[in-house]
Structure 1
């Protein structure tokens, strides 16, 4: 350590003489990251099933996520908690969700230990740890880690992103939001979207633009200072919102139904080595209708709902690709440790028939085929809060049973991609060992050569 710097709390090592010529100044040592320390980027998808990314056997095009997998590792045995908030708390603390008070989502707080919705402050977030190590820390997109009763303008703000080690935040605090008219917060203040849907607004490109700006703001001043970014899309959670041209790319591709999707994805997963060659496909779920027994109107509506979902996923992948390309332009990509995960399996919250108003599902209001069919041309646009039927959910979790909110593997097994070209020699390989979302924090600390602190903020 040079003489002109000293650790906080240590004695002043300089010299204070009568005049400047016989004095030597010194300054408190700043939090400075180790030379060459990598950036860390979490890319957290929402409600994305094991069989929905192209590199996991899906027929949906996800070329940019596939490229990350080709540049790094795919995991075939990664597990989450089957729900948003609990999984996300694991990803940021490295601790079990019950230890974090999140046995359920924040809105499901039960007022008992392990399920009160309040993540203890002693359960340090990765952002808090890396902030002490000289990193910039950014959270972008979905949060869903603040107790529901503390998300209003009355606060308290200590469990908002800026209260948990993130220097900047742009996104939404709840579990989902409208993709064209989102409920946005910048830092600790509610803000309005900068454009309307008519002017081309959609949340995903907005999040990517803000993420790029945060990184650029710091890198142009301190190019060697690493960042940790927690980037969480609203996709693929309902509402499945995407400009029509993206959904139209998939016209007719799902007319064969969800069982055909399962068979296709299953065969592809074996080819890719994502599942063992002797794997048996789980049975057709008894709660899922047989596609061939549906009326022509039902098949037409449900196929369109899946086209919209597929377009939404490809659209999301496209903009994630823009963020990755930006890192390449800055020369940061090679030394960025990127982890891609979903918070749980595909969601069944559209019920057996899908919906153009997800609120119906949560209030047990029956769906009306005639009404939903009348909306078919507008599904994916700002008019509806739509979700596909759970036949597609089951297909999206191929080869597993069931879905989000349940502890079958369809709810808890998720895609996981890890890429760090400068730090990992392996390319395009598959790892089959058991892993869980709690393993992300200790893996990052291990890769960075950082020991977990014994105390956080005292």
Structure 2
């Protein structure tokens, strides 16, 4: 007999009669380890859930709090990608390379726009220890110029430990026309809005199916499911019935809603009885000072947010009901949280075009009122104004992107009936941070983060498990110190004190004024003690600099993501080219990989063979927010440029059957302006002046060849409108007159 070289415990003889088989023991987590579902809400502020004081109806989330624990002193980073990086690694976001968003690599170790392989992710470690893993929804941890079908794929969900993924890779998506990815390939949505499609329903459907498969085939093996919803990030969109049921709810305005929410928070014990309502943030008007038209618009924008959150709650109800039907709810730990505070990205008066914000522009109230009935539908990408964002963060000050409490204090609910039944409905007030979620799950599963993962030495875990709080409600926090930084805003919490500095974009950091708060007695950061306790402030500022050095915060960078994404790209980025040749059959090209046509001359040439009556879209980039489309219809070449909802259109030529080169030639004539010429076989057939073009972004959706597949750039042709002729190639050439500029976007 001989030993088999691959399985040394087996012995292999001449026949099976004189051989001894052997099978490896599978990796198993600790006995009784729960199934784990992390539900990550997007841009949902501290005071936005019913169980955290809101009038928004969230009975499903409220029920999770009632049979679990609510955490009122839980903190996150003030932006989505960094929170996700910290959530899934247990480390601080700068230390793992995600200082800001995954849309830009700024060229520094802490600002790579991707999670270092020196920080193994929760799902990677759980998978190797016997858990199954699946992700549904938003990812936003892959560098955007690596999200095309050319990859690389090592930072996609399947490259970072998830065995299945169904969702989207960008920071946001249209909820009626999402840019879906399944595993490592792009797909179209399974239905249209007219057929009742909405992304949140779709994501929950896929998670329900996953649980059914898992419980049917491997009932003794636990799973880790990551449900990262697009809700309630802008665009705020939901089915019509949800929009109708919130009509008129916000006519009293944000001042009154904030007052009611604080009253309810005190009643529920979410905040201490002495909590004060923070003053209105800079730029927020008193509701009574607004004109009737302004009030009408701004109430409608908040209705769209509330409708979206209520729709989300109903979809989570379907998930919980399914777990109960399968008899597995009791040993399913559900962690529900938000990634940051309510968003300031609607600007002071709100927005019916989210791309305008990214380009540093603000829409006109009169234009927005014309879209009033479109708000919340597929025809509009809206976001609420600052006043409603502060109401979402009641009773706190400032917003997402800032490191005051409104940006970083977030709701957290942990529900696990098998373990938390005796403490169900209780509140926990210990300070904790998003870096504590991964250590909590690992401790419960009896798994430790390895010192080396797949040959790569690992960073230490920076967080600490929350599990002690399950049974020790009065125990002091085991996470006494946490720094914060985003866009130059800085803060540190240490032993119940907080020092925080708000930074004006593109100003000197030396001009920033540090504030000091006693969080144990000032929940909403209303009483600045910097003048009374200068020694305490100096101590905390010194501690911030030490923590920042330790975790790789530097260099400080206050440019926004669109500004960086338009300018900085790795040597391997496809966006570094000035010439692109797209072939027939190319899949959807995501926005982060599209040619940088901003504020420069360029030319698009489409090589086609036409038959009589051929028609359809040749190339389209963008969505209802903005973009451009070139198409053939009625024997003419057509072009539309959609600049933040303002549409300019031209058509010309008399096309005949045969081979043609159909072109759009844009000549820059001034800053963000120029002339678009239509050409057929190099003969000009139409011309269009474009007095304004996109500064950083056309639209959130990418580029398609031969159709306009999702949210339509133009409303002048039927939806999708596939090209019926023979499209050979699309060539885009960028001129050298488009050196990237450094325009200053609004904060």
Q: Residue 451 of structure 1: which of 425, 440, 448 is its match?
A: 448
Q: Deviations over 1:182-232 (max 9, x none)?
A: 000000000000000011111000000111112222221111111100101
Q: Residue 436 of structure 2: which of 435, 439, 446 is its match?
A: 439
Q: Corresponding residue for 2:364?
A: 368
Task: Give, in whole Å, the separation in 2 of the partners of 1:49 and 1:34.
Answer: 35
Q: Does 1:397 align with 2:417?
A: no
Q: Corresponding residue for 1:201?
A: 197
Contact map agreement 2:29 2:446 (CA 8 A) in 1: no
SS in structure 1 of the partner of residue 46 of structure 2 = coil
Deviation at 1:77, TM superposition (A): 0.5
Count the aligned residue pairs: 451
TM-score by length of 2: 0.59
Q: Corresponding residue for 1:5?
A: none
Task: Give, in whole Å, the separation in 1 of the partners of 2:299 and 2:24.
Answer: 63
Q: Comparing both structures, which one devotes a greater share of its residues to strand?
A: 2
Q: Corresponding residue for 1:76?
A: 72
Contact map agreement 2:262 2:395 (CA 8 A) in 1: yes
Task: Give, in whole Å, the separation in 1 of the partners of 2:95 and 2:13.
Answer: 54
Task: Give, in whole Å, the separation in 2 of the partners of 1:164 and 1:233.
Answer: 19
Q: Which structure 2 segments of 5+ residues have no match? A: 456-747
Matches within 5 A, 1:117-266: 117-266=113-262
Task: Give, in whole Å, the separation in 1 of the partners of 2:452 and 2:6.
Answer: 19
Contact map agreement 1:102 1:109 (CA 8 A) in 2: no
SS in structure 1 of the partner of residue 418 of structure 2 = coil
Q: Which structure 1 segments of 5+ residues have no match? A: 1-8
SS in structure 2 of the partner of residue 37 of structure 1 = coil
Q: Corresponding residue for 1:359?
A: 355
Q: Corresponding residue for 2:40?
A: 44
Contact map agreement 1:36 1:224 (CA 8 A) in 2: no
SS in structure 2 of the partner of residue 422 of structure 1 = helix
Task: Give, in whole Å, the separation in 2 of the partners of 1:383 and 1:433.
Answer: 44
Q: Deviations over 1:256-295 (max 9, x none)?
A: 1001111000011111111111111111223101110111
Q: Deviations over 1:140-172 (max 9, x none)?
A: 000000112211111100100000000000000
Task: Give, in whole Å, the separation in 1 of the partners of 2:168 and 2:148.
Answer: 12
Q: Deviations over 1:230-262 (max 9, x none)?
A: 101100100000112212212221111001111
Task: Give, in whole Å, the separation in 2 of the partners of 1:407 and 1:61.
Answer: 28
TM-score by length of 1: 0.96
SS in structure 1 of the partner of residue 413 of structure 2 = strand
SS in structure 1 of the partner of residue 103 of structure 2 = helix
Choose 1 or 2 for highest CA Rg. Answer: 2
Identify the structure with bigger relative contact order (alpha carbons < 8 Å, sequence gap 6+). 1
Closer, same or farther: CA 20–66 of 1 in aligned 2, 3 Å: same
Task: Give, in whole Å, the separation in 2 of the partners of 1:455 and 1:326.
Answer: 38
RMSD, matched Cα: 1.5
Deviation at 1:364, TM superposition (A): 2.1
Runs (4+) of structure 1 moved beyond 6 Å?
none
Q: Residue 65 of structure 1: which of 52, 58, 61 is its match?
A: 61
Q: Deviations over 1:87-130 (max 9, x none)?
A: 00010000000111111111243211111112111201110011
